[in-house]
Amino acid sequence: MSHGNNAAEQVLRSSGVDVRKCMRCGKCTATCPAFDEMEYHPHQFVYMVEKGEIDKLAASPSIYKCLSCFACVERCPRGVEPAKLVEAVRLAVIRKQGMNHLATDAIPALLDEEMPQQALVSALRKYSK
Amino acid sequence: MKFSYYPGCTLKTKGKDLDRYGRLCAEALGVTLAELPDWQCCGAVYPMAKDEIATKLSAVRALASSRDEGTELVTLCSACHNVIKQVNHDMQTDADIALRVNNYLGLDTPYTGETTVLHYLEVLRDRVGFDAIKAAVKNPLTGRKIGAYYGCLLLRPGKVMRFDDPENPTILEDFIRAIGAEPVIYAMRNECCGGYIAVEDKGAAVKRSSAVLDNAAAKGADTLVTACPLCLYNLKKNGGRDDVAVVYFTELLAEALGVK
Amino acid sequence: MQRIGVFVCHCGTNIAGTVDVVAVAKALGQEPGVVFSTEYQYMCSESGQQLMRAAIREHKLTGVVVCSCSPRMHEATFRKAAALEGVNPYMVEIANIREHVSWIHKDMAEATEKAVILGRAAIAKVHLNAPLQAGESPVTKRALVIGGGIAGIQTALDIAEAGFEVDIVEKSPTIGGKMAQLDKTFPTLDCAACILTPKMVDAAQNEKINIFAYSELESVKGYIGNFKAQIRRKARFVDETKCTGCGICTEKCPQKKVPNEFNMGLDNRRAIYIPFAQAVPKVATIDANYCTMMKTGKCGICSKVCGTGAIDYTQKDTVIEREYGAIVVATGFNPIDAKVYNEYGYMDSPDVVTSLELERLMNAAGPTNGTLLRPSDKTHPHTIVFVQCVGSRCDETDERGKPYCSKICCMYTAKHAMLIREKYPDTDVYVFYIDVRTPGKNFDEFYRRAVEQYGVHYIKGQVGKVVEQNGKLHVQASDLLANEQLHIDADLVVLATAIEPDKTARSLGTMLTASMDTNDFFTEAHPKLRPVESPTAGIFLSGVCQGPKDIPETVSQASACAAKVIGVLAKDKLTCNPCVAHSDELLCNGCSSCEKVCPYGAISYSDKEFRGPNRTTLIRRVASVNPAVCQGCGACTVACPSGAMDLKGFSNKQIMAEVDAICK
Amino acid sequence: MQVNEYKPKIVAFCCNWCSYAGADGAGSARLAYPAEVKIIRVPCSCRVNPMFILRAFQRGADGVIIAGCHPGDCHYTSGNYFTRRRMALLFSMLDYLGIERERTRVEWISAAEGAKFSKTMSEFAATVASLGENKRLEDLRCKQ
């Protein structure tokens, strides 16, 4: 356990999540629609943030796979809000210079005719600074 | 009944139908939707982090200008609704965010969450009333089997949205009954369509959307209604089946009210 | 001037660890009137009490201050010790320096200072204490038991066994409660009905026990030894004295579509019904909400077929008044409504059931005669998923669930899983758990048998979503040990829903002025030492109304509760609380303010003669307090404009002396 | 000259059945609150005579809090309703005399709410401390 490391503290502060509330029931991971796409799953985000293993999470593509559907937030019996941890780790990464997951000019190629603006704006918000 | 109205960017472009029919129906039901003159894009996803201020400003501007108008604020797009309602909740409950946002905006009167945010469906349910809608229906959609697709954004987080029971919602089903059709209840109606992941990982969106559609089809739905342009896109484009139509709920309402 | 002795307790290190007890004893020894001051390791122990008694003798003490734990803990102990040396027990005051000082403060200097101040306040009060004589009140030798489940039945039987009369008030048409609905019981797998129904019959046949079934408590007045209760006997529209329980009416009644609550709504009953074959009393009841005769005036079939003429459509509720010496709360529990957890599909599919519904589905007297069939299509389920902790162990901010562990679910789920695997070996059974909690005699062995002998798949994880599609329940769940998301196509999903106190508990608590916790469980007078008594004298707790329990625990608590009740009923007289209001007639102006605020009607007025100036006589209206009825709240003392009314033991002067000492 | 660190004096009247037990609960759970808070046990919150509160302020108390059972849960059925009405009047009168509203408070704390007891007392002590010493009714002649 590496309590008190700066990266972990930043994630806790920015997410507002109290990871100690977690009782390891696994309901977040059970309900997560993006499970298959994720390397680390919602319950692991909670546990790994508690252990201070932010680097592993930050390097994982998992942080771009969360759909922000709030299913884990809604269904967690302990009010832990795992999605907020995923967002906090992701922000910690993309806020750094040159760390955008998708560059703005790379996005048009991914779009098709019918894709609504909303998808584009969401992707920009989620993937870049 | 007069409300401030926040359409959002998608409703001005790819989601025009949601907006157009929404306005027509409002008019038919005696509801005045006054579009906020100076609205800006809400950002489409709620910024969850406590230290995100800039990304919340446009929502607060809309909320404050609705307050200055002295009206409640109506949204139609699920995503805008989710962002604006959650930001409003932050302004009511998180003193730190409220302080920093107000410091930045420098409004004449600081904004502290005074505006009531309503989704168009809430206006139908709580202000117009489904009974009144039923009475106003000219072409009931009798015989149609329609599944409500809530997705995530209207319902969650339940404690903030206070829209309906997040696990067992009834508002869209009641709406479907009011326009004369039969609601089809299926478990996937409040599960994610894949959302913006479609931009980067189409496969993931296909998986999510087809699970929703398959479940609705298995329960006998011929049509799904939604309030979200991105859900509509995913279900149509990535759902992998064309035997279930996916339409905006406002379009069906317009059809039933005879204003389409 | 009082001669006061001060005794400072170390409570081992509980107090002495944070409070400098020697310094406290020394400081308080300097106070005026204090002639002796000491400290000791455990004042409440036998040797501690001997020390106090010796000091009383030696120093001719007239008052005692003990600086120790809460007076709620040992006030009675020290008062008794003082009384043995001839000091009036109400000359003893406690300064609470444990709960209110040492346990909440860390800094020794600060804690010591506060302990001294609280000690001074107690000394200041003792200076003004007067010896009080407790009066006596008679005891009505009958107990009231509210709730006729296994807890209420056991308590009633034990009280009756000791020779006292007991009334059981049960709101449903029969006694038996939840246990009557169960199939088998853990960890012995004996049938619930086989061990419960003989007890029900014993209760019915015991001449000391009156069963008021289909009845509700309307009001309770009075105090320990002297309660008066009004009981509403709801109209059954069947004469209990004539009905033989033959059941012909329940077969002939044409209204067949009434959800059967005994079978958790899994099948239907008639409008006139007997809940189950072994019901006690075995008497039919007409459900007026469904009875065609009651609703439209047309039918009357039950009346025609009844051989004894027991049917009476015009029957009215009656209210009876009974007196009791003690009241037992045994109101039990209900599972929470699973509809708020619709991610499990409870509202969407009949094949998602609660554990109590499963009990009925497995019970030989249930809707399927004990054959396990899916409610939707009456086929055998081959894959069954159990979900644990549905609504238990939730965060306090959670709006759907309860913060506590419901305690019984782990064991009954192991039982269900085992019984199913035994009876239907071709069935796959999965149990999703957070923790398996099995502290109890032969409990963990039982759970291990489910795993090792019966091959139940226990998976550490939770179910996230259940989707019903094409007759299957698609279960999406986590397996935390494998770090996988599982997808199981199940035929039946069983939810171990949390249990909560019966909905009537809250209003009952208010009626009895018995305190409850935030979850509506009744609070015990002491969590360890007085577990079956409410802090309100004369109110006793039996079974799950006090907290989640299984049957063995419920029965032991029920018997413990009976022992406490017998302790009250065996006495001919009870000592009253002497800390009651008293009116100084010379000061009373007869305004009636006190009378208006008294919740007990303890104050009355009379005209009295007083001597006026120049040998005249004045007749004045003055208040007097009936000390046997006054409960000592003090409401009247504040309402009194002339200062005539005061409360013994908590007089205006005493409390102000405490205020002065604290603010010094 | 000696400058003492200011610590407020706070008198807490607690009813025997709920709030005093709540305070015991706070102790059992080791939930700290400031030592300035000193508890006086009364049978019911309705036993608290306005005189006691005036006396406390006269003797130099900086804050007075009355804690009783939740409305509807009074051990004596209705005592806390009297408290609520009486104290509303008294506090407005004290306010008129210049004793800030924040120096007086009525709270409902049940026997099960140790955490609430500790939280309430901590908050109240902090509020009173922020107001500083109460001079408005203090009578120095009462100090020996």
| % of chain C exceeding 90 in pLDDT | 91
* Among A residues 2-31, those touching chain B with beta carbons less than 8 Å apart: 13-16
- A78: nearest CB among C394, C476, C477: C394
C343 CB neighbours in chain A (<8 A) are 31, 75
CA gap C91, C64 in Å, rounded: 6
Find, among C586, C559, C534, the residue nearest to C327 by Cα. Answer: C534
In a domain, D89, yes or no: yes
* Among D residues 53-112, those touching chain C with beta carbons less than 8 Å apart: 55-56, 59-61, 69, 72-79, 82, 86, 110-112
In a domain, B81, yes or no: yes
For residue C422, the surrounding DSSP H or E stretch is helix C409-423
How confident is the model at residue A7, as a pLDDT? 92
> Are A78 and A115 within one domain?
no
C142-234+317-332+502-569 has which CATH code? 3.50.50.60
Residues C54-75 have pLDDT tens digits of: 999 999 999 999 999 999 999 9
Supply A57's token pair.
């999470």
By C-alpha distance, the chain D residue nearest C580 is D43
In a domain, D1, yes or no: no
Alpha-carbon distance C363 to nearest alpha carbon in chain B (angstroms): 30
Q: Do chains D and A touch (3 or more CB pairs under 8 A)?
A: no
For residue C184, the surrounding DSSP H or E stretch is strand C184-185
Cβ C466–B191 below 8 Å, yes or no? no
pLDDT exceeds 70 at position A3: no
Average of per-residue pLDDT values in chain C? 95
Residues B160-207 have pLDDT tens digits of: 999 999 999 999 999 999 999 999 999 999 999 999 999 989 999 999
Residues A83-103 have pLDDT tens digits of: 999 999 999 999 887 778 887
Cβ C340–B187 below 8 Å, yes or no? no
In a domain, A1, yes or no: no
Count of the separate structural domains present in chain B: 2
> Are B97 and B26 within one domain?
yes
> Are B138 and B251 within one domain?
yes
> Are A67 and A118 within one domain?
no
How confident is the model at residue D4, as a pLDDT? 59
Supply C81's token pair.
């010790």
> Are B115 and B134 within one domain?
no
> Are B110 and B184 within one domain?
no
Supply B31's token pair.
């509801």
How confident is the model at residue A102, as a pLDDT? 80
A70 CB neighbours in chain C (<8 A) are none
pLDDT in tens, chain B (260 residues): 999 999 999 999 999 999 999 999 999 999 999 999 989 999 999 999 999 999 999 999 999 999 999 999 999 999 999 999 999 999 999 999 999 999 999 999 999 999 999 999 999 999 999 999 999 999 999 999 999 999 999 999 999 999 999 999 999 999 999 999 999 999 999 999 999 999 989 999 999 999 999 999 999 999 999 999 999 999 999 999 999 999 999 999 999 999 98
- B158: nearest CB among A14, A74, A119: A74
How confident is the model at residue C504, as a pLDDT? 95
Residues C105-146 have pLDDT tens digits of: 999 999 999 999 999 999 999 999 999 998 888 999 999 999
B217 lies in which domain range?
Answer: 130-257
How confident is the model at residue A4, as a pLDDT? 55
pTM: 0.87
CATH code of the domain containing D20: 3.40.50.960
How confident is the model at residue A2, as a pLDDT? 45
> Are B116 and B138 within one domain?
no
In a domain, D82, yes or no: yes
> Are B75 and B155 within one domain?
no
Residues C24-45 have pLDDT tens digits of: 999 999 999 999 999 999 999 9
Superfamily of domain C333-500: FAD/NAD(P)-binding domain (3.50.50.60)
Q: Do chains D and B touch (3 or more CB pairs under 8 A)?
A: no
> Are A18 and A67 within one domain?
yes
In a domain, B125, yes or no: no
CA gap C464, C469 in Å, rounded: 16
Find, among C115, C136, C58, C125, the residue nearest to C90 by Cα. Answer: C125
In a domain, D94, yes or no: yes
By a Cβ cutoff of 8 Å, what residues of chain C touch chain A?
343, 389, 393-395, 397-398, 401, 434, 460-465, 476-480, 483, 485
Pairwise pLDDT comparison (A127 vs C57), residue with the higher score:
C57
| ipTM score for this prediction | 0.86
Alpha-carbon distance A26 to nearest alpha carbon in chain C (angstroms): 5
A47 lies in which domain range?
Answer: 6-96
Distance of CA B19 to the CA centre of its chain: 11
Count of the separate structural domains present in chain D: 1
How confident is the model at residue B231, as a pLDDT? 96
A116 CB neighbours in chain B (<8 A) are 10, 13-15, 229-230, 232-233
pLDDT exceeds 80 at position C622: yes
Q: B226 with B187: CB under 8 angstroms?
A: no
Interface membership of A101 toward C (CB under 8 Å): no
Q: Find the Cα–Cα–Cα–Cα dihedral B65, B66, B67, B72, rounded to 10°.
A: -170
Distances (CA, A) of B31 to B18, B20, B122, C180: 16, 14, 13, 57
The order of strands in the sheet holding B2-6 is B32-35, B2-6, B73-75, B117-119
* Chain A contact probe: residue of C478, C479, C481, C486 with most A CBs at under 10 A: C478
In a domain, A105, yes or no: yes
The one-letter amino acid code at C115 reads A
D36 lies in which domain range?
Answer: 10-130
Q: Is C330 exposed, middle or buried (0-12, 13-18, 19+ CB in 10 A)?
A: buried
- B48: nearest CB among A83, A110, A120: A83
Query: What mean pLDDT is predicted for residues C589-612?
Result: 89
Question: What ranges do the domains of chain C cover?
Answer: 4-128, 142-234+317-332+502-569, 248-305, 333-500, 581-648
How confident is the model at residue C614, as a pLDDT? 86
- Following DSSP, what letter does each residue of C463-513 receive, concatenated? EEEEEEETTEEEEEEEETTTTEEEEEEESEEEEEE-EEE-TTHHHHHHHHT
CA gap C471, B220 in Å, rounded: 13
Angle between helices A42-51 and A82-94 (to 10 degrees): 70
In a domain, D137, yes or no: no
Q: Are strands C190-191 and C184-185 parallel, antiparallel or unpaired?
A: antiparallel
How confident is the model at residue D1, as a pLDDT? 47
Supply C500's token pair.
């909560």
Q: Do chains C and A touch (3 or more CB pairs under 8 A)?
A: yes
By C-alpha distance, the chain B residue nearest A115 is B233
For residue C615, what pLDDT band results from cuts at 50, 70 and 90?
confident
> Are B236 and B138 within one domain?
yes
Q: B35 with B104: CB under 8 angstroms?
A: no
How confident is the model at residue C473, as a pLDDT? 98
Domain C4-128 belongs in CATH node 1.25.40:
no
Alpha-carbon distance B175 to nearest alpha carbon in chain C (angstroms): 19
Cβ C99–D35 below 8 Å, yes or no? no
Interface membership of A85 toward B (CB under 8 Å): no
In a domain, B25, yes or no: yes
By C-alpha distance, the chain B residue nearest C468 is B187
For residue A113, what pLDDT band results from cuts at 50, 70 and 90?
confident
- B191: nearest CB among C342, C465, C468: C465
pLDDT exceeds 50 at position C299: yes
* Chain D contact probe: residue of C15, C99, C534 with most D CBs at under 10 A: C99
Count of the separate structural domains present in chain A: 2
In a domain, D4, yes or no: no
> Are B49 and B156 within one domain?
no
In a domain, D74, yes or no: yes
CA gap B24, B258 in Å, rounded: 10
Residues C492-550 have pLDDT tens digits of: 999 999 999 999 999 999 899 888 888 999 988 887 888 999 988 899 999 999 999 99
For residue D6, what pLDDT band results from cuts at 50, 70 and 90?
confident
How confident is the model at residue B221, as a pLDDT? 97
* Among C residues 452-511, those touching chain D with beta carbons less than 8 Å apart: 509-510
In a domain, A22, yes or no: yes
> Are B221 and B163 within one domain?
yes
CATH code of the domain containing A87: 1.10.1060.10
- What class does CATH assign to C581-648? alpha beta
By C-alpha distance, the chain B residue nearest A116 is B14
How confident is the model at residue D139, as a pLDDT? 83
Query: What mean pLDDT is predicted for residues D6-13?
Result: 92
Domains C142-234+317-332+502-569 and C333-500 share a fold: yes
How confident is the model at residue D3, as a pLDDT? 53
By C-alpha distance, the chain B residue nearest A129 is B55
> Are A108 and A52 within one domain?
no
> Are A68 and A119 within one domain?
no
Query: What mean pLDDT is predicted for residues C179-190?
Result: 95
Q: B88 with B59: CB under 8 angstroms?
A: yes
Cβ B215–C343 below 8 Å, yes or no? no
In a domain, D136, yes or no: no
